[in-house]
Amino acid sequence: MCDLLVARGTTTDDGRTLFAKNSDRPPGELQVVEFSEPRLEGITRATYLDIPGHSAPTLRTFISRPRWGWGAEHGVNIAGVAIGNATIYTTLDPRDFPDALTGMDLVRLGLERGRTAEESLSVITSHIERFGQGGSGHDPRGPRRPYWNSFLVADATSAWVVETSGPTWMVHEVADTWALSNRVTLSEFEFHRHPRQPVETLVDPRLESSRAVLARRPVSMLDVREHLSSHGMTADGWDVCMHNDVQVTASSLIAALNAHGEPEVHHLLGNPCGGNWVRLRW
């Protein structure tokens, strides 16, 4: 489970694009936050695949990732691109597909190789086409649990939604604001959504809460921070700040993206309702 949102600069209180994500993971799974430093790539070993390098050095990137994997739940690069992903369920069963690139792998590849949101978007979609999605998005010491992904990609001047079902994907440019959770949000992609997914109880209360925050304009960083810490959407803890026996919020990020200068990034590990936000120093 995850919740993401973006508010482009035309809708915020200071003209910067705001990007945010809560990463929800199984209880007890640790995440690490770290810099991926620039490197000249030969072969990159992603979680399950070797990926050829590309001609330019990678970008300095701040990421949060499960300790067992290579890919990132979310992150921001020095050029001011922010990316995060969320699990979505479709009529196509991911268990039938071989190990390939996970959604987290695609997040990290997009961040390391894209200087703009559009470049990162191209990295994600071209790698889906070339290598495919597949492989468990959970600790390989446990049950194999693959899934498909939606992505939110943003910089100071544009923002994009990507929703996928195996090798199929659809892109939408965000005009002002958008929120993602663990369901299809693009109307043109809705026919892919798994009809038995209980979105009414597990997903929609969180998604509608995110949309309500984005509708109260201008959107501020304080609004977003409070939202990532919020509870009370359901009786059994399926909230934006998640605490239950199945999923807990493990890592959170808020990025303010401007056209000139380094992005302003705030992050924390653990539940945001009880944690201390740290401002990143580039």
Residues catalogued as catalytic: 2
Three-class SS state of 114: coil
Rounded Cα distance between 56 and 134, Å, is 27
Phi, psi of 256 (to 5 degrees): -105, 115
Which amino acid is residue 90, in one-letter code? T
DSSP calls for 147-207: -EEEEEEE-SS-EEEEEEETTEEEEEE-SSEEEE-SS---GGGGGGB-TT--HHHHTHHHH
Q: Is the distance from CB of 211 to CB of 224 less than 8 angstroms?
A: no
- Count of positions (residues) in the chain: 282
User: In angstroms, what is the C-alpha Rg of the chain?
Assistant: 17
Rounded Cα distance between 153 and 98, Å, is 26
Q: Kind of pairing, strands 61-66 and 74-77?
A: antiparallel
In 3D space, the residue among 85, 73, 89, 77 whose CA is nearest the CA of residue 151 turns out to be: 85
Which structure tokens are listed for 145? 């649990």
Rounded Cα distance between 182 and 51, Å, is 28
Q: Where do we find the tokens 């694009």?
A: 17
> What pairs with residue 170 in β-bridges?
163
Which amino acid is residue 174, in one-letter code? V
